[in-house]
């Protein structure tokens, strides 16, 4: 099982730029880019909650479990 990060899809649906989202949730654009690409080993629930608040979505909208 692998986790697919769909943050870029949700951002596109909301017409939100990476720079703006990073600024609103308090992380760097570089860290946001790593998160979007799935190259992070984890994400803080606090950060996930802020992303969901700004994008008006649920964690399940951002993360998807897929068979390997």
Q: What's the fold here for domain 2-66?
A: 434 Repressor (Amino-terminal Domain) (1.10.260)
- The pLDDT, as a whole number, for residue 68 is 74
6-58: per-residue pLDDT in tens? 999 999 999 999 999 999 999 999 999 999 998 988 899 999 999 999 999 99
| CA-to-CA separations, 66 to 1, 3, 6, 14, 56, in angstroms, rounded | 6, 6, 12, 24, 23
Domain residue spans of the chain: 2-66
Residue 64 has pLDDT above 80, yes or no: yes
* Closest by Cα among 49, 48, 52 to 16: 52
């Amino acid at each position: 099982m692998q986790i697919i990060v769909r943050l870029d899809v949700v951002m596109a649906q909301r017409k939100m730029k990476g720079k703006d989202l990073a600024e609103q949730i308090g992380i760097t654009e570089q860290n946001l880019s790593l998160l979007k690409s799935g190259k992070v080993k984890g994400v803080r629930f606090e950060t996930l909650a802020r992303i969901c608040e700004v994008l008006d979505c649920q964690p399940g909208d951002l993360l998807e479990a897929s068979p390997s």
